[in-house]
Amino acid sequence: MARPGTACPQPARRVMVAARALLFWALVYSYCGVCACIAGLRLLWSIGRRPGETFRWVVRENPPACLNDPSLGTHCYVRIKDSGLRFHYVAAGERGKPLMLLLHGFPEFWYSWRHQLREFKSEYRVVALDLRGYGETDAPPHKENYKLDCLIADIKDILESLGYNKCVLIGHDWGGMIAWLVAICYPEMVTKLIVVNFPHPSVFTEYILRHPSQLIKSGYYFFFQMPWFPEFMFTLNDFKVLKSLFTSQATGIGRKGCRLTAEDIEAYLYVFSQPGALTGPINHYRTLFSCLPLQHHEVIMPTLLLWGERDAFMEVEMAEITRIYVKNHFRLTILSEASHWLQQDQPDIVNKLIWTFLKEETKRKRE
């Protein structure tokens, strides 16, 4: 028996680690089961009310005109040597200007940055990427290909393939998660970090375990652990869930926001209605619990965190806690009337805040 004050014997420590891991995965799969049951009940309710409409799924054959709007930039492709994957992106602004790389969230794609592509092309080479598995970017079939290490390496390799060694990195939602991780793992590649509606990953993992309300709001993380069923639920009633995410009173852009037009909605439906188009995006979440918590935490470059206070998925308290992980200039701005879809909801305000941050940092360096 160990004396008081001495470390636990190695076998005892292993048992504790194993017990902790068992409890963690029991929580994950138990909550996954709860979310699946709720989704099943909603499915039965929909079938009972409108059986003919429930399983209607229309594949959009032709892209709406907005996806080929020349004012947004040029559609480009790059193949990464190490992974062999081909990535699609839209680029605006002259080659040779400083790079601004934009990473979208879920369920989005490059088009969620349309307002920023137009705004920042005057001074930057602005690149809005389709992440691995999204849109016209290649989608590997196995969920192991979507681990965080792979997603981080994608950004590093794309940066190099574009002929740059550093960039202003901007991410929203899941793209914000990736942006934080790239900034942590490859700080030399990120001159300035801007994240929209996603806290530092360590804040998220710690907060969600201590606050049941955030656990409930993040229920889709657990639901997405199931095979095929989440994709199936998205297709019901011709992608009603997808439409409501952006337009409903509970989760969508509010009355004071810049609401998505019918053509904008069609752009999302065009991308995600294609056969198999949802599996890659949802696979991003299917490996998440095996990759957290993080071993490295600190962010050392100037950082701007923008947050819509009406975010239905992320509690605003996490935004302020994020400050402790940034070991450089940190600016937090919370917009009281804005939703989770902040860069689409309040594009003029968001663009102005980004300009202020970028010019403020340039001025600070000169001084």
- Assess contact for 117 and 354: CB atoms under 8 A: no
For 100, the enclosing helix (H) or strand (E) is strand 99-103
The helix/strand/coil state of 39 is helix
- Assess contact for 120 and 100: CB atoms under 8 A: yes
- What is the Cα–Cα distance from 258 to 262, expressed in whole angstroms? 13
Out of 89-93, 225-229, 310-314, least confident range:
225-229
* CA angle at 207 for the pair 205 and 208, rounded to the nearest 5°: 70
Over range 74-83, report the average pLDDT.
95
pLDDT at 107 over 80: yes
pLDDT at 1 over 70: no
DSSP 218: T
Total residue length of the chain:
367
89, with CB counted inside 10 A (0-12, 13-18, 19+), is buried
- Assess contact for 27 and 221: CB atoms under 8 A: no
The residues assigned a catalytic role are 173, 285, 340
220, with CB counted inside 10 A (0-12, 13-18, 19+), is middle
Q: What is the pLDDT of residue 295?
A: 67
pLDDT at 192 over 90: yes
Compute and round to an integer the Cα radius of gyration of the chain: 21
Over range 265-274, report the average pLDDT.
98
Q: What is the pLDDT of residue 25?
A: 63
Residues 6 or more apart in contact with residue 255 via CB below 8 angstroms: none
Residue 8: pLDDT band (50, 70, 90) is low
What tokens does 262 get? 């019918």
DSSP letter for each residue of 130-169? --TTSTTS---SSGGGGSHHHHHHHHHHHHHHTT-S-EEE
- What is the Cα–Cα distance from 91 to 123, expressed in whole angstroms? 13
Q: What is the pLDDT of residue 284?
A: 97
- What is the Cα–Cα distance from 75 to 82, expressed in whole angstroms? 22
What tokens does 17 get? 């680690």
pLDDT per position as a tens digit, 24-50: 667 777 878 888 788 888 888 888 888
Over range 132-159, report the average pLDDT.
97
What tokens does 222 get? 């657990």
pLDDT per position as a tens digit, 55-66: 888 999 999 999
Q: What average pLDDT does the chain have?
A: 91
- What is the Cα–Cα distance from 195 to 174, expressed in whole angstroms? 10
Q: What is the pLDDT of residue 345?
A: 97
- What is the Cα–Cα distance from 345 to 336, expressed in whole angstroms? 12
pLDDT at 17 over 80: no
Out of 6-10, 170-174, 209-213, 269-273, least confident range:
6-10
Q: What is the pLDDT of residue 152?
A: 96
Q: What is the pLDDT of residue 5?
A: 46
pLDDT per position as a tens digit, 230-262: 999 999 999 999 999 999 999 999 988 999 999
pLDDT at 185 over 90: yes
- What is the Cα–Cα distance from 357 to 317, expressed in whole angstroms? 22
pLDDT at 3 over 50: no
